[in-house]
């Protein structure tokens, strides 16, 4: 391909040709990878003339829009309106109408050449376009406003978003530091759940931890997955990030559970009782059988509710409002789940819409609309499950606040959706299906990572006025006090891996409009009063942490990664205040797993590491453990006669608690620990870079919640954490 054309295409698509890797080395993207990513975005890389024509078409589409579809601007600054005009339009009087979110209307008339400043000229297809900047002569409140303009019988609209300078931060942060625990909800065992953690378990955990002084419980992503395909269990490969995973419903807490005769018959049957005991007893979550137990009972409860709505008028009204507010997105999810269940009952290979019969591959097809009419009751059932999931989650958050938790629940927003997702089915133009989100080689994934999540196209996000992102932030801030943004660098750039690439390293970074996205995030954060935490691990570009901090976002600091240049461990007292500190994460080994190198052994077993890499990894781990031990002794976190040589020290309760207390004394505003480390577990919940090699997202906790609450030694530790955080 012509070098000038290649450079123009790369610039238009926001592809980064060079980057700094996780080890600080400069890396250059191979040209073949650049070309593959251009092809993924629809450019004819093997035909220069056609590629040039395609680029011109996209550029013309931008410049022929007098108003951009969206503009995000900071509150307190002059509001600048950009007008893109053909040279023949520059002297015409323009009439603009501004409608504020509050419903007020303002009219403005201007002539671009007289009232605005020319700041850019573009020559496309022998036609000159001029961009003018005009200052709006008034200030606007925070929110979503609309600007309308008609030029030569063509109408243009812009969503004008006025955003605050920073995300929400509670006033109480100034007087105390907070701690909490992260929970993979599916892992939770209890005497009451049906083989998987649920929202009732979450209530039980809130009650226990709030009594010990905890301020929050962090959840894995609880996004909607696939009821018809329950073994697709990764919380980070959802069907929809706007809706909830109904597997977490506490069936016994549903309306009508104690009254419905059909439910009594189902749950008292010998086979049901035997199966329920079996799924509770398993070491790994049995998603298939848990779903097979829950769904028929949930269906019976839905029918009971439908028949008794007159006696539950308030709940029925709330359900009606919920469906109205959920709109097309909710109906689309329900429709997808109903069609999926229908098709997979006939063909177990119908894993998602890309392989469905053609008539079902678009939600607006005649066949799909006909299906919706003939299966209206089934669609309403899936809507009801979403309604009850929201109600139960809201009850947990209300309980947390009643129990004195400052934050309560903090939710986790996954970086994308799977190829089979409802979201791509309903909005295919927004996604690039010929590429996948991932990560270049780094410490967590030496071979790089391919997450199998088609990325959003930045240009399409802009064309859709960022509505998908606005809805996403809003949905995940409901019923929570904090939101963790998984792989927060995605707001700036994402590593795209072309479909069919031999390795995840054969990709490149593509840039996103970070200032716009941060502005929207800050606006929704302030409106919902939700703290925002950015998971900034892996390959972090220069300057990104400073930008996130400026927007009031909390950084993510993992103890094992916080090393100084000499290899020693940075004291948690020197961590940034605007951060969440943690010992480990769902992608890392437990404390025992780390100390005993269980993660390296597992990595060897599943083929993550080459044999020639392992000796250096074991040697490095041995050295790191010694430095951790040195740091703990240096900060007097261990008794003086505790062994000082790592050769003599295995992970023990004493050492584990000392490490947790050490981090609790740190400067960071937030501290997040893990149930697994209180229970002294060895197995990880996930091994990054694997799919079938290890049963990810299935390993249960080794204690029930009832056993946890009865452990006095753990309760003492939690009370010590509270004292250290308040000191």
User: Mean pLDDT throughout 12-27?
Assistant: 87
pLDDT at 226: 98
The per-residue DSSP string of 356-367 comes to S-GGGSSTTSHH
Which H or E run includes 396? helix 376-402
Which pair of tokens denotes residue 515?
Answer: 């200032």
Q: Is 344 helix (H, G, I), strand (E, B) or coil?
A: helix
Residues 6+ apart with CB under 8 A from 706: 190, 191
Please report, for residues 33, 334, 375, 389, the alpha-carbon distance to residue 382 in angstroms, rounded to integers and kept in the order given. Answer: 42, 5, 11, 11
Q: What are phi and psi of 402, to 5 degrees?
A: -65, -30
pLDDT tens, 638-652? 999 999 999 999 999
pLDDT tens, 547-564? 999 999 999 999 999 999
pLDDT at 542: 83
pLDDT at 581: 98
Class in CATH terms, 76-163: mainly beta
Contact by Cβ (8 Å): 36, 553: no
Q: E-assigned strands of 589-715?
A: 670-674
pLDDT tens, 108-131? 999 999 999 999 999 998 899 999
Contact by Cβ (8 Å): 669, 173: yes
Q: Give the number of other Cβ atoms within 10 Å of residue 552's Cβ.
A: 20
- pTM across the whole model: 0.95
As a whole number of angstroms, the distance between CA 227 and CA 221 comes to: 16
pLDDT at 59: 95
pLDDT tens, 278-335? 999 999 999 999 999 999 999 999 999 999 998 899 999 999 999 999 999 999 999 9
- For the chain, residues classed under CATH 2.60.40 are 76-163
Which pair of tokens denotes residue 69?
Answer: 């579809």
pLDDT level of residue 442 (50, 70, 90 thresholds): confident
As a whole number of angstroms, the distance between CA 17 and CA 40 comes to: 16
pLDDT at 446 over 80: no
pLDDT tens, 341-382? 999 999 999 999 999 999 999 999 999 999 999 999 999 999
Handedness of CA 138, 139, 141, 146 (dihedral sign): positive
pLDDT at 444: 63
As a whole number of angstroms, the distance between CA 351 and CA 661 comes to: 46
User: Mean pLDDT throughout 406-421?
Assistant: 97
pLDDT at 538 over 80: no
As a whole number of angstroms, the distance between CA 568 and CA 557 comes to: 16
The domain 171-246+407-554+669-726: what is its CATH number? 3.20.20.80
User: Mean pLDDT throughout 408-426?
Assistant: 97
Question: How many helices (H) and strands (E) would you count in the chain?
Answer: 23, 25
Contact by Cβ (8 Å): 454, 416: yes
Please report, for residues 13, 293, 340, the alpha-carbon distance to residue 46 in angstroms, rounded to integers and kept in the order given. Answer: 17, 54, 38
The residues pairing with 525 across neighbouring beta strands, listed in sequence order, are: none
pLDDT level of residue 275 (50, 70, 90 thresholds): very high
pLDDT at 692: 87
Sort strands 408-413 and 216-219 into parallel, antiparallel or unpaired. Answer: parallel
Across the chain, what does the average pLDDT equal?
95
Which pair of tokens denotes residue 430?
Answer: 């927004």
SS3 annotation, 404-442 = CCCCEEEEEECCCCCCCCHHHHHCHHHECCCEEEEECCC
pLDDT at 717: 98
pLDDT at 90 over 70: yes
pLDDT at 507 over 80: yes
pLDDT at 10 over 70: yes
pLDDT at 92 over 70: yes
User: How are strands ordered across the β-sheet holding 493-498?
Assistant: 15-16, 508-511, 493-498, 435-439, 449-453
Q: How buried is residue 679: exposed, middle or buried, by Cβ count under 10 Å (0-12/13-18/19+)? A: middle
pLDDT at 25: 83
User: Mean pLDDT throughout 160-167?
Assistant: 98
The per-residue DSSP string of 185-237 comes to GGG-B-SSSSSS--HHHHHHHHHHHHHTT--EEEE---EE--TTSTT---TTS
Least confident of 115-119, 475-479, 690-694: 690-694
User: Mean pLDDT throughout 500-525?
Assistant: 94
Which pair of tokens denotes residue 135?
Answer: 């200052």
**Dmax (CA) of the chain:** 85
Handedness of CA 501, 601, 671, 680 (dihedral sign): positive
pLDDT at 445 over 80: no
Which pair of tokens denotes residue 65?
Answer: 């829009």
Residues 6+ apart with CB under 8 A from 356: 339, 343, 350
**CA angle at residue 68 from 63 to 70, to 5 degrees?**
160
- For the chain, residues classed under CATH 3.20.20.80 are 171-246+407-554+669-726
């Amino acid at each position: 391909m012509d070098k000038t054309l290649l450079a123009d295409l790369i610039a238009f698509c926001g592809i980064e040709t060079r980057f700094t890797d996780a080890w600080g080395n400069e890396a250059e993207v191979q040209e073949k990878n650049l070309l593959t990513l251009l092809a993924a975005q629809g450019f004819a890389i093997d035909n220069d003339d056609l590629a040039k024509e395609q680029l011109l078409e996209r550029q013309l589409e931008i410049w022929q829009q007098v108003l951009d579809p969206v503009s995000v601007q900071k509150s307190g600054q002059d509001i600048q309106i950009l007008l893109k005009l053909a040279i023949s339009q520059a002297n015409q009087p323009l009439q603009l109408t501004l409608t504020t979110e509050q419903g007020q209307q303002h009219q403005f008339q201007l002539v671009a050449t007289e009232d605005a400043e020319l700041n850019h000229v573009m020559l496309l297809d022998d036609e000159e376009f001029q961009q003018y900047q005009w200052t709006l002569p008034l200030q606007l409140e925070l929110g979503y406003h609309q600007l309308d303009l008609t030029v030569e019988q063509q109408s243009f609209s812009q969503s004008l978003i006025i955003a605050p300078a920073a995300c929400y931060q509670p006033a109480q942060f100034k007087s105390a530091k907070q701690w909490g625990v992260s929970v993979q909800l599916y892992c939770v065992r209890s005497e009451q759940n049906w083989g998987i953690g649920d929202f009732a378990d979450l209530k039980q955990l809130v009650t226990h931890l709030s009594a010990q002084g905890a301020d929050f419980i962090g959840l894995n992503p609880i996004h909607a997955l696939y009821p018809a395909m329950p073994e697709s269990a990764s919380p980070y490969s959802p069907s929809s990030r706007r809706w909830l995973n109904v597997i977490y419903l506490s069936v016994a807490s549903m309306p009508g559970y104690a009254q419905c005769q059909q439910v009594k018959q189902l749950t008292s049957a010998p086979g049901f009782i035997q199966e329920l005991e079996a799924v509770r007893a398993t070491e790994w979550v049995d998603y298939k059988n848990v779903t097979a137990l829950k769904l028929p009972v949930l269906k019976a409860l839905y029918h009971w509710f439908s028949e008794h709505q007159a006696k539950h008028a308030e709940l029925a009204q709330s359900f009606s409002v919920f469906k109205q507010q959920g709109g097309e997105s909710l109906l689309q999810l329900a429709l997808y789940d109903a069609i999926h269940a229908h098709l997979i009952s006939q063909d177990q290979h119908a894993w998602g819409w890309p392989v469905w019969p053609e008539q079902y591959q678009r939600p607006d097809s005649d066949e799909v609309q006909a299906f919706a009419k003939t299966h209206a009751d089934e669609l309403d059932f899936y809507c009801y499950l979403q309604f009850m999931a929201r109600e139960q989650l809201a009850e947990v958050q209300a309980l947390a606040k009643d129990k004195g938790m400052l934050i309560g629940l903090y939710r986790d927003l996954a970086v994308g959706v799977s190829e089979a997702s409802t979201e791509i089915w309903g909005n295919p133009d927004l996604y690039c299906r010929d590429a996948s989100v991932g990560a270049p080689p780094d410490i967590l994934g030496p071979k790089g990572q391919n997450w199998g999540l088609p990325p959003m196209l930045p240009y399409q996000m802009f064309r859709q006025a960022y509505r998908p992102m606005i809805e996403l932030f809003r949905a995940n801030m409901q019923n929570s006090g904090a939101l963790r943004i998984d792989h927060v660098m995605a707001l700036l750039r994402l590593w795209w891996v072309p479909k069919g690439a031999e390795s995840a390293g054969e990709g490149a970074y593509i840039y996103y409009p970070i200032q716009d996205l941060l502005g929207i995030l800050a606006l929704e954060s302030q409106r919902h009063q939700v703290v925002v935490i950015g998971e900034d691990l892996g390959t972090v570009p220069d300057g990104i942490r400073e930008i996130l901090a400026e927007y009031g976002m909390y950084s993510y600091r993992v103890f094992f990664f916080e090393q100084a240049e000499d290899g020693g461990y940075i004291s948690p007292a020197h961590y940034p205040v605007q951060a969440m500190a943690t010992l480990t994460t769902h992608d890392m080994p437990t404390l025992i797993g780390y100390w005993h190198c269980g993660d390296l052994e597992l990595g060897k077993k599943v083929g993550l590491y080459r044999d020639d890499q392992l000796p250096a990894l074991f040697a490095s781990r041995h050295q790191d453990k010694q430095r951790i031990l040195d740091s703990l002794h240096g900060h007097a976190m261990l008794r003086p006669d505790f062994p000082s040589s790592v050769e003599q020290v295995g992970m023990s309760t004493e050492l584990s608690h000392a490490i947790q207390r050490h981090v609790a004394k740190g400067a960071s505003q937030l501290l997040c620990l893990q149930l697994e480390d209180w229970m002294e577990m060895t197995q990880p919940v996930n091994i990054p870079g694997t799919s079938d090699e290890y049963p990810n997202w299935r390993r249960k906790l080794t204690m029930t919640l009832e056993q946890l609450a009865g452990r006095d030694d753990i309760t003492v530790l939690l009370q010590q954490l509270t004292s250290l955080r308040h000191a």
